[in-house]
Amino acid sequence: MRTLVTGATGNVGRLVVDHLLGKGVEVRALTANPGKANLPPGVEVVEGFIGRPDTVPAALESVDRLYLAPHPKTAQAVVNLAAHAGVRRIVDLSSSGADQEAQADPSAW
């Protein structure tokens, strides 16, 4: 199984990468700047950003699972791309205040 981790160089995403590697999971990391990613050996680093959904489809090829870092404006588009690519499980990190955001603008999520 291969997991795509978005936000892989961020505070939480990097912890997700390390945890998955520790469990023997094959990890592909999506980052806007692969040259500065500084991720551990064994991580497949690919360029892209969930804020620009058109950069995500290639990264989703042969992926079973997706860790989706929060980016409310494009979250639904990325989820749709993942479903189309055959991703079977998505884990999403929500932020504090997400409920209030959803109440104010239900289309945000």
Q: What is the DSSP string of the chain?
A: -EEEEETTTSHHHHHHHHHHHHTT-EEEEEES-GGG--PPTT-EEEE--TTSGGGSHHHHTT-SEEEE---TTTHHHHHHHHHHHT--EEEE---TTHHHHHHH-GGG-
How many domains does the chain fold into? 1
Domain of 27, in residue numbers: 2-6+15-108
pLDDT in tens, 16-47: 999 999 999 999 999 999 999 999 999 999 99
pLDDT in tens, 75-104: 999 999 999 999 999 999 876 555 555 556
Q: What is the pTM assigned to this prediction?
A: 0.85
CATH of the domain at 89: 3.40.50.720
